[in-house]
Amino acid sequence: MKKTQLVKNIYKKKSFLCVGLDPDLEKFPSSILKEIDPIFSFNKKIIDATKDFCVSYKINLAFYEKHGLKGIQSLQKTLDYIPEDFFVIADAKRGDILNTSKMYADAFYDNFNFDAVTLSPYMGGDCIKPFFRNGKWSIVLIATSNPSADDFQMLKTENGIPLYIEVLEKAKTWGTSKDMMFVVGGTRPEIIKKIREHAQDFFLLIPGVGHQGGDLSEICKYGFNDQVGVLVNCSRSILYASKGDDFAEGSRIKAEKIQKEMSTYLS
């Protein structure tokens, strides 16, 4: 998907919501566990319930790979079910030597036809470059919101600059705002602001709203650019808004609530 189409979809739906499809069998209602393919049955109901309120789906591979071949089959059926006009992200956090990264890129783009892949830049540019293909996106981890993110990301380099900024500046030499995004945790608006100052034209994929406590108004205040430039991911807060057999309706209500708030920032 090209950047112009993504921006068009955001304004059309008045939403920059990305729903994370991270199915956890331990959180499923008992009725879904009785299905032949509970993961796909769950995802199908979530997609039906949320597709009017989001523009993107993010699929965390770990929740599928855990179940081996059955999980991969559920993944493929989920991908086949998502409508074509959605921006679909493989949350895989890959990053390896050049020939290995090429194999990963072939897998995610050729076999599964994802629009984008999340990538770890720790090994440098040659582990990222195989993911640059026409119409596809590399989504590079820059500053995350997990508890131990500061172990490395906030360390100061010899220039006195936080490491995450050094990574950002280097990553900008690998791609453009038309084929690269950056992952920025949603719980620290001051970092979103700093990254936006260094990456004015790039989209930011921002998790951390919902269970992790990120504030949507602050994300928009510091993260927006003149083309919106933000995808906000919500996973658990939407998927498990209700723990009963009405889980899909609970997800619909939660997604619609978020979309309505987003629409106020797009007006």
Q: Which residues are catalytic?
A: 93
Q: Which two tokens stand for residue 98?
A: 């050049």
Burial of 267 (0-12, 13-18, 19+ CB in 10 A): exposed
* Cβ contact 14:266 at 8 Å: yes
